[in-house]
Amino acid sequence: MVEAVSISEAQVWNWLEDVPDPEIPVISVVDLGVIRNVDVRGDDVTVTITPTYSGCPAMSMISLDIELALARKGVNKVALKTQLAPAWTTDWMSSKGRARLEDYGIAPPQPAGGPKRCPHCKSANVQRVSQFGSTACKAQWRCNDCLEPFDYFKCL
């Protein structure tokens, strides 16, 4: 006999920790700060997400990944809510997420508006190439010491 086990909100948050960002798979959607709320009522799970950039094409992928991840845990009644305000900010990115970004070769966002150092050689001698990069959330920079180009996750 299968006993119905009620799920907790903390559990859902834990499961979401394993859902990678589709564009930057080293960080989770939780690290990214797009999960704004998890609400569990009986079998019904409501996950509230907020878009990073208005036109970010990864958002529909993120929604799908969340539904699939929760379905794998046996949660079938998932409602996804999109919330616009307060608008997403890079301040919501977790410190774990920031460290992982740097390990991956993407300089994490800094309040100063530019990367603190090159994610490869850690030199502070860096230069902006373009405020726009391979995805809406990134800018292109280069290191003047190791001469490597790198992505910077720009502040929003």
- Binding stretches for another protein (CB under 8 A): 51, 53-57, 84-89, 129-136, 140, 154, 156
| Closest separation in Å from C-beta 31 to another protein | 20
CB nearer to another protein: pick between 12 and 35: 35
CB nearer to another protein: pick between 99 and 136: 136
| Closest separation in Å from C-beta 15 to another protein | 28
What is the distance between the alpha carbons of residues 85 and 99, in angstroms, rounded to a whole number?
27
Name the phi and psi angles at 150, rounded to 5: -155, 160
How many helices (DSSP H) and strands (DSSP E) are in the chain?
4, 7
CB nearer to another protein: pick between 45 and 62: 62
CB nearer to another protein: pick between 12 and 49: 49
| Closest separation in Å from C-beta 57 to another protein | 7
| Closest separation in Å from C-beta 1 to another protein | 43
In DSSP notation, 51-78 reads -SSTT-THHHHHHHHHHHHHHHTT---E
Which H or E run contains 79?
strand 78-82
Q: Work out whether strand 106-107 and strand 149-153 pair parallel, antiparallel, or are unpaired.
A: parallel
